[in-house]
Amino acid sequence: MQSITLTRKELYELIWSKPITKVAKDFDVSDVWIGKLCRDADIPRPPVGYWQKVAAGKIPRKTPLPTAKLLARDIIYVKSTTHYGRSHRSDQSDEELVRAPEPSPPFFEETIEEFRDRIARSIKPISIPKDLKEIHAVTARLLREDKKRLKENAGDIWPWWRRQPLYQSKEGRKVLIALNCLFVRWSELGARPRVSNGRDLTISIEFSGSHVPLTFQAIPDGVKEVKSPSGGSPKYEFAWAYNSPQTDFRKSSSYRTYRDITGSLLRELIIDSVVIAEERVRGSAKWAYEFELRSKAEAADRIEQRRLAEIEQRRLEAEQLSASRIEKVDETLKLFDKAEKIRSLIAAFDKAYADGEGVTQAYLRWRQWAEEYANSLDPRGWSASDIESWAQDFRL
């Protein structure tokens, strides 16, 4: 199956024309996936009981399609088998892959620089409050986790198991307020801030299925060797990467430090995140296109290899058949020669007995056996059915 794309309005009309389970079946995907596409594109879905009212002959009111948020794409990707690898396309033969239409290369109306400029014009200035206001759900979770860490440090817990709170100091509190500003603004734009489960929380921003990880925190007292692009002693560090026991976000190419957190800084991070997500989408589209081309080329190559292998196999079989025919004729001629030699031997023995004493019974018995044996070997004595069976082995 080729990639399927719909406009935001087309998916909206589909969702309101039939139950989501039927829409999902039409595209051979799950209704959960269709629901996710609707959430990402900010498309309202029929409420519970809507289709029962339709079945009863009623005409319930449709929720209008709202104006798309900044990050809600008008072109919606529904399904593609291109990025799952050949194991997920086992229902397609190489011949089907080769016959499939040539994929269209991804096209973007804007360069990434033009995209950045447009996004920058759309992102409003950010004002950082002195304290937490309009606490985002992700911020609330970070606060709950920080309180757990405080209890761990105050309780009777092994030192190696303790985790230091991140948002209790003055600098840490400022980071939390800044993160909350970012979470709220991302949500307004249509992205979804996320926080992982487990002891070591990681934060990421989801842009229509693309996750951009981030770490933003006050510089711990134990970290001394950091660099600040603006000079002076930095207080905050940031990277588009996870900070976890398995990874060191300070080794990321995006790692940077700041002396202060400002509204203009947060606005730049918002713009940066949107551009990073767009670059990933474009990279994924390019990879899918190249994968499709590569799959067709590889399928064509496999077909050609099989064709050449079949030609070689037929050549070898022809050589083997020719050799077997010659061998069969040679074996038959050897039988003929052997029969003639036996007859010549009989003639020589007969002459010896004619020149000497009379023929004995022993010789007569041998002579009779030798003639019968020569006749059994001689192909000239074969019946028509024997010759037919022999000729069929030549497969002419």
Work out the pLDDT band at 81, boundaries 50, 70, 90. Answer: very low
- 7 — phi, psi (to 5°)? -80, 165
Is the pLDDT at 86 greater than 50? The verdict is: no
Determine the Cα–Cα distance for residues 378 and 211; give it in Å rounded to an integer: 86
Is the pLDDT at 96 greater than 80? The verdict is: yes
**pLDDT tens, residue by residue, 23-58:** 988 888 888 888 888 887 788 999 989 999 899 988
User: Cβ distance 191 to 206 under 8 Å?
Assistant: yes
Q: Greater confidence, 163 or 13?
A: 13
pLDDT at residue 215 in the model: 94
Q: DSSP strand E in the chain: where?
A: 4-7, 75-79, 192-195, 203-207, 210-218, 236-239, 256-258
User: Would you list the DSSP string of 67-89?
Assistant: PPPTT--SEEEEE-SGGG-GGGG
Domain range annotation of the chain:
1-79, 129-261, 324-392
Per cent of the chain over pLDDT 70 is 88
**pLDDT tens, residue by residue, 28-37:** 888 888 888 8
User: Cβ distance 180 to 135 under 8 Å?
Assistant: yes
User: Cβ distance 332 to 390 under 8 Å?
Assistant: yes
**b/e map 325-339, b = 16+ CB within 10 Å:** eeeeeeeeeebeeeb
DSSP 3-state of 218: strand
**pLDDT tens, residue by residue, 226-254:** 665 556 688 999 999 998 877 889 999 99
pLDDT at residue 271 in the model: 95
Mean pLDDT computed over 62-79: 73
